[in-house]
Amino acid sequence: MSDHQATERGDAVTISLVAHHEFCPRRAWLEAAGERTDTRQMAVGVASHAATDDPSTGRRDIKRAVDVAHLGWSYTGRCDTIEVNPDGSLEVVEYKATPVRRRTDVTQPMRTQLALQVAALIDMGERVHAQYVYFTEHKRRVEVELSDIDFERARAAVEATRTCVESDTAPQPLEDDPKCTRCSHASVCLPDERKLASIKRRIVVADPDTQIVHLATPGSRAFVRSGRMIVATHGEEAASIPLERVQGVAVHGNVDLTGGLIRELLWRGLSIVWCTSTGRVVGDAASASGPNGSARALQYASAHSGRLDLAQEFVASKVSNQATFLRRNGNAPEAVARLRSFASQAADAPSVNELLGVEGAAAGLYFGSFGTMLRAPDFEFSTRSRRPAHDPVNAALNYAYALLLGDCIRAVRSCGLDPHAGFLHSSNRNKPALALDLAEEFRAPVADSAVVRALNNGELRSGDFQVNLAAVNLTDKGRKALIAAYERRVSTEFVHPTFDYSCSWRRAIEIQARLVLGVLDGTQDRYIGVRTR
């Protein structure tokens, strides 16, 4: 794992990809597609190559991080350390940090890796005298003898890796394999979720424990200084947050980010979403090294030809969740029953047009009874009015939907899909169609729920809204209260109905985005939306 640059398909295979492939072909495929995870294993892999404290090598001529390439076998790679003997011959040392392994055993993948490094050096006209693995935890160097069999095996491994990463479809995940519990890519691979059934073993607790930073004070300015994000309001420093803790930034209304901060966030692979102070998503920024370029090509093709099955699931689970939410919080049993039948109609609607018809009818019914869920006397709800909002409840709903859309954009981007090519929403209306598709099933349980709770608990009061002619908007204070209510909701854990494990709603949004990805790249036969019970 010595070279961490993204490897594009069609480019030469890298030695690190071959090492991934020896572990699991799907891991090589994911790595080649640009999927990165922030797990301990990945960090240790990177760190072990930064280790330079082998005291026994102090006196010799040592070269570090040497790029090598084999023209004949067509691969590239990097050697951690090459020691040059006085006669010009080389000794190759590969550093390994293997905290889980108690003994200093040289494994087959390590032999393959060394064989590829040595073969490349020979191809480049060098003389290699010996090769070693240096175990950093044990501070022990082990000499590895390589035979023709090792070189033949390594060459075959390069070919197998090339075939795998150049294939158009992702390899299927391993089934019930103990390797997955040690795999650095499990949180993006979702090996157990592919079966769309309840999960007995739990591989990773993958909920992010870093935070979304919402910048919602008009006139404030955010910049980066000494590894921290500083937020200043009217020239005074209001907050300073360590950058390692930031998971994403949401900018609300008139707030400035400096170019330096934007660059730093993108460099760290974090996303930024901007929206207006009335809750309209203006745009987003994402790192250039996002994963899964080829999956996007598949996404465009599917969005163009249409995927009724996906669209049906988005609407059916949305309507089903409206029914559940209304049953739990409101008083309209008839509407609930009719929503249930709309949900099953949506599940087998013959076309997207009819699906939109069902969705519209369901929305009319649901919002017709929405008022029965509101307990605070200050607030009334008659009809849903998008923009401008005619009453405080609509203003709050608009804002909560913008927050949800921001989370959906982040989830869609993080698995390398394009927010703009969708299956239910039209892709030619200047809208983030896929993010809107994904938002449907989360509207009632996340956004509506946050609004209803905030109004009923008195977190949002009538003073938190202001009227401008016919339009009602949140005040600065009201906006912050709603963001807090939304954040509390989206970080609440619930039991995922398909997989039976508990996760936060925010993680669920990403899991669902990855299930859409699975359908597009062929690892999965169908999509199942989250339906609350």
Partner 1 sequence: MIPDTARRYLIAYDIPEDKRRTRVAKCLQTYGDRVQYSVFVVDAKPAALVRLKVAVGAEINLEEDSVLLCDLGPVSSLEESKFSFIGRDRPVTPNEAIIL
* Contact partner at residue 477 from ligand SF4, partner 1, none, CB < 5 to 8 Å by partner kind: none
* Contact partner at residue 205 from ligand SF4, partner 1, none, CB < 5 to 8 Å by partner kind: partner 1
Q: What are phi and psi of 515, to 5 degrees?
A: -70, -40
Describe the chain by its helix, strand, coil percentages, rounded to 5: 45, 20, 35
**In Å, how far are 178, 351, 499, 518 from 310, measured between CA atoms?**
32, 12, 19, 12
What mask of x and - would describe binding to partner 1 in positions 207 to 236, judged by CB under 8 A?
Answer: --xxxxxxxxx--x-----xxx--x-----
Question: Nearer Cβ to ligand SF4, position 26 or 410?
Answer: 26
In angstroms, what is the minimal distance from the CB of 244 to partner 1?
Answer: 5
The secondary structure element, H or E, covering residue 338 is helix 333-347
In angstroms, what is the minimal distance from the CB of 184 to ligand SF4?
Answer: 7
Residue 486: Cβ-neighbour burial (10 angstroms; 0-12, 13-18, 19+): buried
Interface pick for ligand SF4 out of 174, 241, 243, 285 (rule CB under 6 A):
174
Interface pick for ligand SF4 out of 120, 121, 186, 446 (rule CB under 6 A):
186
How many Å is the Cα radius of gyration of the chain? 27
In angstroms, what is the minimal distance from the CB of 520 to ligand SF4?
Answer: 17
* Contact partner at residue 337 from partner 1, ligand SF4, none, CB < 5 to 8 Å by partner kind: none
> 288 CB contacts (<8 Å, ≥6 apart)?
266
Overall size of the chain counted in residues? 533
Contact between 205 and partner 1 by CB under 8 A: the answer reads: yes
In angstroms, what is the minimal distance from the CB of 189 to ligand SF4?
Answer: 3
Interface pick for ligand SF4 out of 45, 77, 173, 248 (rule CB under 6 A):
173
Question: Nearer Cβ to ligand SF4, position 191 or 392?
Answer: 191
Contact between 189 and ligand SF4 by CB under 6 A: the answer reads: yes
Interaction residues for ligand SF4, span 12-31 (CB under 6 A): 24, 26-27, 30
Residue 174: Cβ-neighbour burial (10 angstroms; 0-12, 13-18, 19+): middle
Contact between 40 and partner 1 by CB under 8 A: the answer reads: yes
63-81 as b/e, with b when 16 or more CB fall inside 10 Å? Answer: eeebebebeebebbbbbbb
Closest Cα partner for 279 from 299, 250, 308?
250
In angstroms, what is the minimal distance from the CB of 483 to ligand SF4?
Answer: 35
In angstroms, what is the minimal distance from the CB of 504 to partner 1?
Answer: 12
Q: How many residues bind ligand SF4 (CB under 6 A)?
A: 14
Q: CB of 216 within 8 A of CB of 483?
A: yes
Interface pick for partner 1 out of 130, 142, 196, 239 (rule CB under 8 A):
239
Contact between 484 and partner 1 by CB under 8 A: the answer reads: yes
Question: Nearer Cβ to partner 1, position 181 or 457?
Answer: 181
* Contact partner at residue 42 from partner 1, ligand SF4, none, CB < 5 to 8 Å by partner kind: partner 1
Q: Which tokens sit at 123?
A: 């191809």
Separation between Cα atoms, residue 99 and residue 139, nearest integer Å: 12
What mask of x and - would describe binding to partner 1 in positions 464 to 483, judged by CB under 8 A?
Answer: ----------------x--x
Residue 127: Cβ-neighbour burial (10 angstroms; 0-12, 13-18, 19+): exposed
> Of the ranges 140-148, 174-182, 361-369, 445-453, which one interacts with ligand SF4 (CB under 6 A)?
174-182
497-522 as b/e, with b when 16 or more CB fall inside 10 Å? Answer: ebbebebbbbbbbbbbbbbbbbbbbe
Q: What are phi and psi of 87, to 5 degrees?
A: -85, 5
Q: In degrees, to the nearest 5, what angle opens at C-alpha 96 toward C-alphas 93 and 101?
A: 140
Q: CB of 310 within 8 A of CB of 433?
A: no
> Of the ranges 39-47, 171-179, 322-330, 462-470, which one interacts with ligand SF4 (CB under 6 A)?
171-179
Separation between Cα atoms, residue 498 and residue 198, nearest integer Å: 6
Contact between 435 and partner 1 by CB under 8 A: the answer reads: no
Interacting residues toward ligand SF4 by CB under 6 A = 24, 26-27, 30, 173-174, 177, 179-180, 183, 185-186, 189, 191
Interacting residues toward partner 1 by CB under 8 A = 38-40, 42-44, 46-47, 50, 53, 181-182, 187, 204-206, 209-217, 220, 226-228, 231, 238-239, 241-245, 480, 483-484, 487, 491
